[in-house]
Structure 1
Amino acid sequence: MDCTSTCPYVCGRIQGGGSDAKAEVEKLKGGAATFDIGLAENSVILVRQKKNTENKSKMEIKMSRGRVVKILAALSIAALFYTSLLQPKEAVDHVIEPEHVKVLHKLALSSLQQKCRPGFVRTSMEKLFSHSYNPALLPFIWKNLSNVEGESAQKYHPPFGFRGNLDTLRDIMELLPATGTPFHSKSCQRCIVIGNSGILRGLGFGALIDSHDVTIRLNDAPVKGFEFDVGKKTSIRILYPESALSFANQYDPDTIVAAIMFKGADFKWLEAVIKKKKMSLWTRMWFWRSVVQNLSLPLTNIRVVNLLVVNETATGLLNFAPPTTGSLFFRKKIPTLGVIAITLATHFCDEVNFAGFGYHLERPRMRLHYYGKTRMDNMKYQLNHNVGRETVFLRDLITKGMINDLTGGVQPPKLVNQSVDQVW
């Protein structure tokens, strides 16, 4: 018998010839068998525990996926609901009395026949807002970034500053052959900011608008087909990625496109447009609708709006609370692009008029824009804006004779036997 399979102690006893040794071996074998069974049972338990752990992990993953699916489903339902609210409904045109149109044309023509006053609007703004308006503020970014190197420009994230985006901005400016203010041809420039309000329809202000030295349009507001009311000329078009025109033939070859950045992804968009390259999927996810990737304009026609103008408009002129770091975008109060454009114009124009402004929220079925079918009640979903405060601000400038509302949407002219509220 080979006893090497047992322990040395037992092996010695067997070789010693003791009769009890064999019995001890048998006993040991039984113990080994018992040990083997116990070991097997422990192994089974460990396998079961491992399996239970794996099942638990799989269940947690399924539950986690389920929660994600539920969240995505909820967001999809919310998006569909929100979209349904914004679906075009029947819009009603503003009722315009012929007498009202005559008065507006007469007042506008009288204003435009006056001699242009060099530096008038900038000087007036400085006097009225001595502590919150900077007459030396440059409205467009220069190639050397000299106007964004200060602490104020880097204090806030877009749209109130350039914090976190200076490297991309520097790359953009190196690619642009022309920067800074685009118009210096006249000693005195009279500018007009054309809003997109539905009150423009039927006024026939096209020729009066085009008579200005500089015409500033907003977003993707069309010109073709609406020339009688809004004119043909576009000197500057201020836009952001989601509001850029989709087709090349919609851009006048002489138009300056002034890009305004409301978020970090907007810088990446402009860089991609200039370099004619595709944006990453991550960047595209930040836009609330698909964006164009080609402006079909020479690079000499592209400018970048100084975001200090947005900050000046918001906190300096409209008295909005300063933005806080990390606050959610939808909780910030941001001026409408129209009021930003008016402030921008005061920094390089000598006189400023505007047309096509005014939100008549008390008439929800009225046409919001002079194009499309969007109704006035769509504005109640624009939580970032405070159009009431903007109206008060603009009326103050009009009353003090600093700027003119040619179409009377913000400050209607009083007609004979007719109150301001009855004009529209």
Structure 2
Amino acid sequence: MSLPKRRKIRTFAVLFCIITFTTLLFSYTCPIPSLYFFKYALRLSDNFFTKGLCACQECMTELEDDPWFAEHFNQSIHPLMTRDNSILSDETFKWWQWLQSEREPADFNVVVEELFQVIPDEVLYMDSRPERCRTCAVVGNSGNLKGSQYGSIIDACDFIIRMNQAPTTGFERDVGTRTTHHVMYPESAIDLDNNTSLVLIPFKTLDLQWIISALTTGTIKHTYVPVMSRIKANKDKVLIYSPTFLKYVYESWLEGHGRYPSTGFLSLLLAMHICDKVSVFGFGADRYGNWHHYWEENHLSGAFRHTGVHDGDYEYNVTLLLADKHKIHMFKGR
């Protein structure tokens, strides 16, 4: 057994003993054990398991084996926003506000308070059982998925992350049928079924106001372009991508290339922080060198890479490097 795994088992044993002892103490001293305590203890164990014990034969986040990965990967930064971690540093807030500048942005703290009155204010992670090797499929939108027949491989993963306006109907053989998490921003929003978690990437305060509106009154119909005024989604499954985590991805992984990361790259880093084994589909060009969506016939080869917003080449090179280092498994399609 490797040294990192032995350390993890010892850490788990200590945590288990602490929780058990404290539970017994509360049971002895209180006629009715505190419900708050049990909730707190369970949250501690959930946080521990989120990226703690790994039941895979090879664990992506065993940092000792690769100095480059250890330098870039920061496990302490929470990828999703909650009421408790929603306070942004001045530096982060200024950077985030600069991404898609608003003339008169609303008060961020007031909006966040309103947001967590509509959606859950705690992140219940996907699977906290230590005996599971948590597998993620990050399904991009590249035309290289056409004819790939990856559908069954994708559907076999525990968590399947799709993004923006990607359809599955009519493309099931190549892209699969299941979606557990769909990543989007207001301008790329689509309706979701009741079992899929909506993961919103906010690039401005208005984006947070939009999700509140889209789930309630439907009053916001325009950001910098027309957007869906209402969206079909389970509000109890809505998750918010943290601006702090977004900045970490931009600075640590992209080292300032582009204006901000693409939805695809942000989805990849989300998966790397919540899963033990990550498989990537539909990234990069097709075999003819075209960068287009698998559901479109788009002959504007390379358009994504020259928007001036994302550095597609740099993102793809980092993705390839992660694959070369066996941190992710990349399916290159056709």
Q: TM-score range by the shorter chain?
A: 0.7 to 0.9
User: Which one of 62, 67, 78 corresponds to residue 138 of structure 1?
Assistant: 78
Name the counterpart of 1:179: 122
TM-score, length of structure 2 as denominator length: 0.73
Report the residue type matching 2:296 in the other structure. Answer: G
Q: Give the deviation of 1:147 after TM superposition.
A: 5.0
Residue ranges of structure 2 left out of the alignment (5+ in a row): 1-53
2:150–2:175 Cα contact (<8 Å) kept = yes
Structure 1 residues 226 and 159, CA gap change in structure 2 (3 angstroms): farther
User: Which one of 123, 128, 131 corresponds to residue 68 of structure 2?
Assistant: 128
Report the residue type matching 1:372 in the other structure. Answer: E
Residues 75-127 of structure 1: CA deviation (Å, up to 9, x unaligned): xxxxxxxxxxxxxxxxxxxxxxxxxxxxxxxxxxxxxxxx9528922334995
Give the distance between the partners of 1:128 and 1:160, measured in 2 at CA. Answer: 28
Give the distance between the partners of 1:152 and 1:130, measured in 2 at CA. Answer: 24
User: Which one of 218, 221, 227 corresponds to residue 277 of structure 1?
Assistant: 218
Structure 1 residues 155 and 383, CA gap change in structure 2 (3 angstroms): closer
User: Which one of 298, 302, 306 corresponds to residue 374 of structure 1?
Assistant: 298
Structure 1 residues 124 and 395, CA gap change in structure 2 (3 angstroms): farther
Give the distance between the partners of 2:100 and 2:81, measured in 1 at CA. Answer: 12
1:189–1:349 Cα contact (<8 Å) kept = yes
Does structure 1 residue 199 correspond to structure 2 residue 175?
no
Give the distance between the partners of 1:354 and 1:140, measured in 2 at CA. Answer: 21
Q: Greater CA deviation, 159-168 or 395-404?
A: 159-168
Q: Give the deviation of 1:193 after TM superposition.
A: 0.4
Report the residue type matching 1:287 in the other structure. Answer: Y
Does structure 1 residue 353 correspond to structure 2 residue 293?
no
Tell me how large the CA RMSD over aligned residues is.
Answer: 2.9
1:318–1:389 Cα contact (<8 Å) kept = yes
Report the residue type matching 2:196 in the other structure. Answer: T
How do residues 46-85 of structure 1 correspond to structure 2 at under 5 angstroms?
none
Structure 1 residues 391 and 118, CA gap change in structure 2 (3 angstroms): same
Structure 1 residues 273 and 231, CA gap change in structure 2 (3 angstroms): same
Does structure 1 residue 214 correspond to structure 2 residue 140?
no
Name the counterpart of 1:394: 319
How do residues 7-26 of structure 1 correspond to structure 2 at under 5 angstroms?
none
Name the counterpart of 1:112: none
User: Which one of 114, 117, 123 corresponds to residue 56 of structure 2?
Assistant: 117
2:193–2:232 Cα contact (<8 Å) kept = no
Structure 1 residues 198 and 292, CA gap change in structure 2 (3 angstroms): same
Residues 316-366 of structure 1: CA deviation (Å, up to 9, x unaligned): 111116xxxxxxxxxx62111111111111111111110010136973xx4
Give the distance between the partners of 2:229 and 2:122, measured in 1 at CA. Answer: 21
Identity %: 23
TM-score, length of structure 1 as denominator length: 0.58
Structure number with higher helix proportion: 1
Residues 35-58 of structure 1: CA deviation (Å, up to 9, x unaligned): xxxxxxxxxxxxxxxxxxxxxxxx
Partner secondary structure for residue 353 of structure 1: strand
Report the residue type matching 1:145 in the other structure. Answer: D
Name the counterpart of 1:287: 224
Give the distance between the partners of 1:160 and 1:312, measured in 2 at CA. Answer: 14
Give the distance between the partners of 2:175 and 2:204, measured in 1 at CA. Answer: 30
Partner secondary structure for residue 120 of structure 1: coil
2:144–2:286 Cα contact (<8 Å) kept = no
Give the distance between the partners of 2:67 and 2:319, measured in 1 at CA. Answer: 16
Q: Give the deviation of 1:173 after TM superposition.
A: 1.5
How do residues 193-272 of structure 1 correspond to structure 2 at under 5 angstroms?
193-245=138-190, 248=191, 251-272=192-213
Report the residue type matching 2:261 in the other structure. Answer: P
Number of residues of Structure 1 aligned to a counterpart in Structure 2: 273
Give the distance between the partners of 2:232 and 2:328, measured in 1 at CA. Answer: 34
Give the distance between the partners of 2:270 and 2:59, measured in 1 at CA. Answer: 15
Give the distance between the partners of 1:158 and 1:121, measured in 2 at CA. Answer: 33
Give the distance between the partners of 2:95 and 2:115, measured in 1 at CA. Answer: 20
1:159–1:310 Cα contact (<8 Å) kept = no
1:139–1:181 Cα contact (<8 Å) kept = no
Name the counterpart of 1:95: none
Q: Give the deviation of 1:229 after TM superposition.
A: 0.5
Residue ranges of structure 1 left out of the alignment (5+ in a row): 1-114, 322-331, 410-423
Q: Give the deviation of 1:225 after TM superposition.
A: 1.1
Give the distance between the partners of 2:284 and 2:204, measured in 1 at CA. Answer: 26
| Displaced runs of 4 or more, over 6 A | 159-163
Name the counterpart of 2:237: 301
Give the distance between the partners of 1:159 and 1:296, measured in 2 at CA. Answer: 30
Structure 1 residues 119 and 294, CA gap change in structure 2 (3 angstroms): farther
Structure 1 residues 229 and 124, CA gap change in structure 2 (3 angstroms): farther
Give the distance between the partners of 1:124 and 1:241, measured in 2 at CA. Answer: 36
Which structure: larger Rg?
1
Give the distance between the partners of 2:177 and 2:330, measured in 1 at CA. Answer: 20
User: Which one of 310, 315, 325 corresponds to residue 246 of structure 2?
Assistant: 310
Name the counterpart of 1:148: 87
